[in-house]
Amino acid sequence: PKPFNVGTNYGGATISVNNKEMFIAVKNPVPENAENIDIFSTKYEFVTDEKTGEQSWKWTPLESIGDHINTALGWEAQPSLSGDGQRLLFAKVDATTIPDRNGNPSHDLFLCERQADGSWATPQPISSLNTDGQEKSPFIHSDSKTLYFSSNGHKGRGGMDIFYCKMNDDGTFTEPKNIGHPINTQEDETGLIVSADGEVAYFYSRRIEGARGFDIFSFQLPEKAKPERVVVLKGSVEDEAGEPVTDARVKLNYVQSKEIQELDVNEFDGSYATIVNVERGEDVLMSVVKEDLAFNSRVVANRDNEKPPSVVKLEVETHPISTNKAFVINDIYYSTNSADIDRSSKLILDEFALYLQENPSLYIEIRGHTDDVGSDSDNLALSMDRAFEVKGYLERQGVNGKRIQAKGFGESKPMSDNTSEEGRAKNRRTEFVIMKM
């Protein structure tokens, strides 16, 4: 569909982690160069048809990413967008790239940074990787650090070989390493991409075991060449009526390093998507930030989990702050038949304590609930113990105990039926009620 496949030729494309921004190489003839190739961009937006008034999701018309990047006499193609959306890498050939051994311009790798207004800065050659040979097909993984590319200018087995390296915090790159045999051969190996979980890679090559044209191959990525472990976190933010919340921000809190990352939800449908780096071995909390919202933090990465999923989908229902209404404190877990709070639950309570300290006018009641397994009296006692344990924990984090009441309801106020484990899990919950604002 438009705006694609309406011109003569299209090349490599790269898409943002939320699937709503794409960069693509397009044949763009100009008077000086009929074979000109440039990089264009498009966004996936919710638009209204001016004639019919119908609303639908469509890709916007392709636009050049700028004359400071695209050149009439050059070749700019094979774009790759970092997982955080802040860097665009691509291959380029023009009079400014390093001449090959015959004095002709060669393919070089370039990088440009996204600026605060969303535009792209002037691209810079990656001098430590470029040679008098050919460097092309850059692919930066979702970790925004691990770069793969093809080259015949670095030491290899012949033809174009696949190399990998890491981006340092200062924007420089480590020394590239050949991914080795049997991936690299005397033929050309190019176009490598790597799955989000860093396990599987794909590339194309012309080699004997193929059909002698360019064929697509896949392989298990060796440990030495794997990117940092990441989780793709995505979902949507809705209000109590199920309508999208489009003017909020998603905040990620890396607990141990105290690093905070924020991103806007989509302005049309309240969706969000981002990359969570779990290589660091940190706990990561997520919350939706908007004025007058009730506390809503969740645990999205637990440092005790050695094999986190590659994708976490989390739909968030937000609630305006109000009195005499029960709000569930998510991700609070206890040992079986115990009021002991587990380690990951304490992360949420630490965040809740901070929320209460930042809102000193709030007075709350902690409410404990259980499922219907066991006797009524035992469940009532257990729910009271858990509510008072939460109250005590918040006090130990510096919240004035006079602001906190605690009450247990046992199995008397289920929010779901108790006929399934899923329903019972929903009923085993901890809530807070704002008694005074």
Looking at residue 137, what DSSP letter applies?
A: E
Residue partners of 178: CB distance under 8 A and separation at least 6: 154, 155, 156, 157, 161, 162, 163, 184
Question: What would the DSSP string read from start to end of 416-435?
Answer: S-SSSHHHHHHHS-EEEEEE
Q: Where are the domains of the chain?
A: 10-225, 229-321, 322-437
Residues 336, 391: Cα–Cα separation, whole Å:
19
Tokens representing residue 271 in the block: 């969706």
CATH 3.40.30.10 assigned to 10-225? no
Which amino acid belongs to residue 84?
A: D
Residue 316's region, left for phi above 0, alpha for psi from -120 to 50, else beta, is beta
CATH architecture of 322-437: 2-Layer Sandwich (3.30)
368 phi/psi in degrees, rounded to 5: -105, 140
Q: What is the CATH number of domain 229-321?
A: 2.60.40.1120
What are the pLDDT digits (tens) for 94-130? 988 999 888 999 999 999 999 999 999 999 999 999 9
Would you say 81 and 15 are in contact if contact means Cβ atoms under 8 Å apart? yes
10: tokens are 């299209």
CB 39 within 8 A of CB 62: no
Please, what is the average pLDDT of the chain? Answer: 94
List of residues 6+ apart from 397 with CB closer than 8 A: 349, 350, 353
Q: Write down the pLDDT at residue 211.
A: 63
Distances (CA, A) of 362 to 46, 75, 178, 357, 437: 39, 61, 59, 9, 5
Query: What was the pLDDT predicted at 49?
Result: 85
CB 94 within 8 A of CB 154: no
Residues in CB range of 136: below 8 A, 6 or more apart: 78, 91, 107, 109, 149, 150, 151, 160, 190
Low-confidence ranges of the chain (pLDDT < 50): none
- Nearest of 297, 261, 293 to residue 277 by alpha carbon: 261
Closest CA to 14 of 112, 107, 139: 139
User: Whole-model pTM?
Assistant: 0.89
User: How much is the pLDDT for 43?
Assistant: 96
Nearest to 389 by CA among 352, 424, 430: 430
Give the whole-angstrom CA distance, residue 274 versus residue 312. Answer: 10
Query: Is the torsion defined by CA of 235, 237, 240, 245 positive or negative?
Result: negative
**Rg of the Cα trace of the chain?**
27
Same fold, 10-225 and 229-321: no
Secondary structure class of 131 (helix, strand, coil): coil
Do 201 and 195 touch, CB atoms closer than 8 A? yes
Candidates 138, 128, 196, 195; CA nearest to 163 is 138
Task: Give the C-alpha separation, 69 to 276, whole Å.
Answer: 30
Task: Please choose, from the candidates 390, 381, 366, the residue with its C-alpha nearest in 3D space to the C-alpha of residue 411.
Answer: 381
User: What is the rounded CA–CA span in Å between residue 111 and residue 94?
Assistant: 15
Paired with 320 in beta bridges are 293
